Structure 1
Amino acid sequence: MVDDADTGTILIVEDHQDTRETLRDYLADFGHVVDTAVDGADGLRKVQLRPVDLVITDLNMPQVSGLELLAAIRSHKLTPDVLVLSATGLVAKAVEAMRLGAVNYLVKPVDLELLTSEVRAVMRVRRHRELELSAGRTTMTIDRGAELARPQSVLLASEPQVDEAAAAELETPTAIGRYQVLGELGSGGMGTVYKCFDPALRRTVAVKVVAITAIRKVHRELLLQRFAREAQAAGMLNHPNIVTVYDYHDDPRGGPVHLAMEYVAGRSLAAVIAAAGRLPWSRATALVFQVMDALEFAHRHQIVHRDVKPENILVTDQDVAKILDFGVAKLADGEFDAGLTRPGTLLGSPRYLAPESFRGGGVDYRADQFSLGSVFFEMLTGAPAFKFDDFYVGVHRILSELPPSLASLGVEAPPLLQEVLRRMHHKDPERRYGDEMALLADLRELGALAGLTLQSGVVRVADDR
C-alpha cells in the first residue's frame, strides 16, 4: 500500500539498553516494524528466524561485534541491508564495514533526522528492487503466455499489481503544483526539497514536499500540522536572515503537500564547518550575529525555533547566514504547540538542546540562545560543545558539565568572546541573556574588535582578520 511505501522491518542491534530503546521507539513512530537485539549473536539469531529489511547495528559490542555480525549475514547469504553505527574513534572500522557490504555508517551520537533519511533511502531502494524484479517476472509470464497462446484475459490476470503511486514516488517529479522541478536539493525526515522555477513570478524557489507516505495514518495528521506550522511560523517572519516562505499548499484532492520558499544558493553551516575544520573567530562571530539577530526578531514575535543547529543554517557565498526549518517552532503562548507534542517529547537535535529541554520544564527563547552557543562553539573549535559518545552520557554532560575553554583548545580570541559563550551556555536560563539586545551588543562589540561592522542583515568587513 502507498501508506507503507517507505516503511519496513528493522532490527536494532545495540548493547546499550537506553540507546536501543530510544532508536526503537523513534523508528516505530514512523510506521516501521522494529525488533531489537542485545549483541551480534542475538542479532544473527533473529535475522535467521524471520525476514528483516534493515539491520542497524553498533560496531563496538562485546562477544560478537557489529563487524562480525555483518560478515556472518553475508556468509549466510541473508538478505537484509546493514547500516552501522560508529563512535568517532571507530570510523576506520565503519569504512571496513562498508567494504563488507554495509550501505552506510552514521557516527554516534546519531542525528535522528539523518537516520530517518538513511532508513527511508534504504526502504525506497529495496522497494525499487522489488518493483524491478516484479517487472521481470511479469515479462517472463507474458512471454511464456504468448508461447502457449493464452487468452489475453489470462495474461492480464497473471500480472502482479504494481503500486503505480509507489513507483512514481521513486522518480523526481517534473512539476509540483505550478512549480517546474529543476532538481533535488536534499531529503530529510520531514520530506524532500527540490530546486524549482516559478513561471508565474519568474524566479527560482525551493519547494519542500512533505513525506506523508512514510508515516502511518495515525501520525499523518500530526505531521501535516507540524508542516503547516513551519509555513505559518516562517511566514510570519520577514527578516534578511530568515529564509522567506512564499506559499503553502495542502491539496484536498490528495496531491502533494508542499511549501515554497526562498532559494538560497550556498551551503549549510554544517558543510562550512566540515570543510574549514575551524572558522576564524571573526567570521564565526559575524555568522552568529546574523543568526542571533534573526532569532531575536522571531522571539520578539513570540516564536521560539527549538531546533537551532548547523544543518538549519544556510551560508551564502557572500557569508550571509539564513536560518530555516521552523517545523518544531512554538509560540510563547503555546498556540503552535497545542496538541502537537506529547509530554516528555524531545524536539530538536539532542546535542544542541538546552538543559531545560531534558528536564521536562518549560522552554522559552533562552533555549535558542543555548543552542546557538553550541553552534558558535563548534564553529570556533571544529568540535561539539558536548560530546555525545552515548545519548544519556551526552545528556548528562549538557545538564552538568561546561564545555572546555577556548584557550584549552588552542583558540585565540578576545576574553569577551569566552564570556559571551559562558553566558549563552549557562545551565540556568535565568542567567543567560534576558535582554537579547544586550547579547547582540556584545556580539557587535566583538565584531568591532575584528574590524567588522555588524548590523541587522548586513556585515561590512574592514579587514581580513
Structure 2
Amino acid sequence: MPSPIPVTRLLPKDIYPSLDLGTCSSPLTRPSHGGATSLQVPVQRPHGRVASRLWSSVIHWKELRCVRPVGSGGFGSVYRAEYLGQTVALKRVKKCAKNKLASRQSFWAELNAAHLRHGNVVRVIAATTCVPADFGDEGSIGTVLMEYVGSRDLQQVIYGCAELGEDRWLRYAADIARGLSFLHAHGVVHLDIKPANVLVSDADVCKIVDFGCSVKLDRGCDAGAVAPHLSHVGGTYTHRAPELLKGEAVSPEADIFSFGITLWQLATREQPYTGDRQHVVYAVVAHDLRPSVRAHPVFGTARGRLCATLLGRCWSGDARCRPSAQELLPHLEQLRSSRT
C-alpha cells in the first residue's frame, strides 16, 4: 500500500528534483544490515544536493541507550534516551485500531518539518518505520528521534508555575510566533498549536513540537489547496479554527487562530472554555464564541487593551482578517515595550 503522503512532500522542492526515486511503492521497509533500520527514501546521487540533508532516514539502534518513558498522547509515546552520546527524545507513533490510516498519516506528518532548522522548532534527528524486535513493540508504526528540549511544556508552565510575569509570557508568545513564521514560510501548517505542544527549554526558550496533525502545502499553490485525504484534519477542538471545524480548507491562518487562544491562556492562566465539547464547537462556529477578555483585570491596563485588540484579530471568524505570523512579531514587540 502506498504511503498516504508522497515522499517528495517530506523534502523541500529545491532538494527532491536531484533525487533518485527508484521503484519503491511504499516507504515501509524491512530492517537493513548492520543493526540499522531505515525509511526507503530517495538515495543520494554523488553530485546531488542531498548531501546537505539535515535529518537521517536511518536509526542505528545499537547506539540507542537508556530509554526511559516521559509521556504519551493520542498517537504515540515519548521517551528520553541517549543516542550517539547525545540526549534525545524518542517518539513512537502507535497503531490506532479504530483508524489505521490516521495513525499512518500522523507518523508521516511528523516529518513535514524534518528538513527544517529553527531555534523555536524542535529538530528532527532521524526516523524509521521499522523497529527491531528487541527495541520496540508490534503496535508501533514508526519511530522519530528528536532533540531533547527538556521535560517542561508550556501547559505545565502556565498552570503550574508560581509566577508568570507579563514580560515572560510575551517573550514566550514571540518565540511561538517566530517558529510559526518560519514554518509558514516553508509551507508547513502545524494545525495543533496549544501550550501542551510547546516545549520550554532550560534556557527558557519555547520550541514548537508534535507535527502529527501538520500539513505541507505545495509551493506555488493556493494556500487552501490540500490533498483531499488530508482535509479531515485533527487538532484540539478548544484551539481549532472555526473554518476547520466546518470542514473548510487548511491555511496558515488556522495556526494564527490557535496562537490567539494560546496567547489568551498565557495572559490569563485559565482554561479557554468550560462545558461540553459539542456545545463549545457549535458555539465557536455558529455564535463566534471566544474566551472572555472582559472578565480579566489583565486586559484592563493599556498593555492589556492592546493585547485584547490583537487577540480579536487572531481569532477572527474570517481567516482573511487574521495577521500572518510574521505580522504578529511587531505587535508583540509593541506589547512588550508598552506601559502597563
* TM-score strictly above 0.5: yes
Question: How far did residue 396 of structure 1 move?
Answer: 2.5
Residue 378 (str. 1) matches residue 261 (str. 2): no
SS of equivalent residue, structure 2 residue 249? coil
Matching residue of 1:425? 315
SS of equivalent residue, structure 1 residue 260? strand
For residues 132 and 61 of structure 2, the distance between their equivalents in structure 1, rounded to whole angstroms, comes to 14
SS of equivalent residue, structure 1 residue 351? coil
Question: What does 1:345-364 correspond to in 2, within 5 Å?
Answer: 345-364=232-251
Deviates more, 1:418-427 or 1:255-264: 255-264
For residues 162 and 322 of structure 2, the distance between their equivalents in structure 1, rounded to whole angstroms, comes to 28
Which of 223, 239, 254 is matched with 2:103 structurally? 223
Residue 282 (str. 1) matches residue 282 (str. 2): no
For residues 62 and 260 of structure 2, the distance between their equivalents in structure 1, rounded to whole angstroms, comes to 39
Residue 245 (str. 1) matches residue 130 (str. 2): no
Question: How far did residue 438 of structure 1 move?
Answer: 2.1
For residues 253 and 262 of structure 1, the distance between their equivalents in structure 2, rounded to whole angstroms, comes to 22
Q: Which amino acid is the alignment partner of residue 278 of structure 2?
A: Y
Q: Which amino acid is the alignment partner of residue 165 of structure 2?
A: P
Residue 396 (str. 1) matches residue 282 (str. 2): yes
Residue 445 (str. 1) matches residue 331 (str. 2): no
Query: Contact between 1:279 and 1:381, CA under 8 Å: does it hold in 2?
Result: no
Which of 274, 279, 295 is matched with 1:408 structurally? 295
Question: How far did residue 223 of structure 1 move?
Answer: 2.0
The structure having more radius of gyration, on CA atoms, is 1
Which of 52, 70, 81 is matched with 1:196 structurally? 81
SS of equivalent residue, structure 2 residue 113? helix
For residues 315 and 165 of structure 2, the distance between their equivalents in structure 1, rounded to whole angstroms, comes to 20
For residues 277 and 371 of structure 1, the distance between their equivalents in structure 2, rounded to whole angstroms, comes to 25
Q: 1:384 to 1:321 in 2, by over 3 A?
A: same
Q: Which amino acid is the alignment partner of residue 243 of structure 1?
A: V
Q: Which has the higher contact order (CA 8 A, sep 6+)?
A: 2
Residue 320 (str. 1) matches residue 205 (str. 2): yes
Query: Contact between 1:346 and 1:358, CA under 8 Å: does it hold in 2?
Result: no
Question: How far did residue 397 of structure 1 move?
Answer: 2.8
Question: How far did residue 249 of structure 1 move?
Answer: 1.3
Matching residue of 2:94? 211
SS of equivalent residue, structure 1 residue 318? coil
Q: Which amino acid is the alignment partner of residue 383 of structure 1?
A: E
Whichever structure has more helix as a proportion of its residues is 1
- The alignment yields a C-alpha RMSD, in angstroms, of 2.7
For residues 424 and 276 of structure 1, the distance between their equivalents in structure 2, rounded to whole angstroms, comes to 26
For residues 124 and 171 of structure 2, the distance between their equivalents in structure 1, rounded to whole angstroms, comes to 24
Q: Which amino acid is the alignment partner of residue 89 of structure 2?
A: A
Structure 1 residue ranges without an equivalent (≥5): 1-174, 451-464
Question: How far did residue 237 of structure 1 move?
Answer: 2.0
Matching residue of 1:137? none
Q: Which amino acid is the alignment partner of residue 397 of structure 1?
A: A
Query: Contact between 1:278 and 1:380, CA under 8 Å: does it hold in 2?
Result: no
Q: 1:404 to 1:224 in 2, by over 3 A?
A: closer
Q: 1:177 to 1:373 in 2, by over 3 A?
A: farther
Query: Contact between 2:91 and 2:144, CA under 8 Å: does it hold in 1?
Result: yes
> TM-score by structure 2 length?
0.71
Query: Contact between 2:217 and 2:226, CA under 8 Å: does it hold in 1?
Result: no
Structure 2 residue ranges without an equivalent (≥5): 1-59, 137-141
Which of 333, 345, 348 is matched with 2:218 structurally? 333
Query: Contact between 2:154 and 2:200, CA under 8 Å: does it hold in 1?
Result: yes
Q: 1:383 to 1:332 in 2, by over 3 A?
A: same
User: CA offsets per residue over residues 208-246 of structure 1, 9 Å max, x none?
Assistant: 11223xx33x84455234212212x12122110100000
For residues 293 and 164 of structure 2, the distance between their equivalents in structure 1, rounded to whole angstroms, comes to 13
Question: How far did residue 315 of structure 1 move?
Answer: 1.2
Query: Contact between 1:304 and 1:330, CA under 8 Å: does it hold in 2?
Result: yes
How many pairs are equivalent?
267
Q: 1:304 to 1:404 in 2, by over 3 A?
A: closer
Question: How far did residue 297 of structure 1 move?
Answer: 0.6
Q: Which amino acid is the alignment partner of residue 226 of structure 1?
A: S
Query: Contact between 1:192 and 1:210, CA under 8 Å: does it hold in 2?
Result: yes
> TM-score by structure 1 length?
0.53
Matching residue of 1:43? none
For residues 274 and 246 of structure 2, the distance between their equivalents in structure 1, rounded to whole angstroms, comes to 17
Matching residue of 2:178? 293
Residue 235 (str. 1) matches residue 114 (str. 2): yes
Q: Which amino acid is the alignment partner of residue 314 of structure 1?
A: L
Question: What does 1:138-157 correspond to in 2, within 5 Å?
Answer: none
Question: How far did residue 365 of structure 1 move?
Answer: 0.4
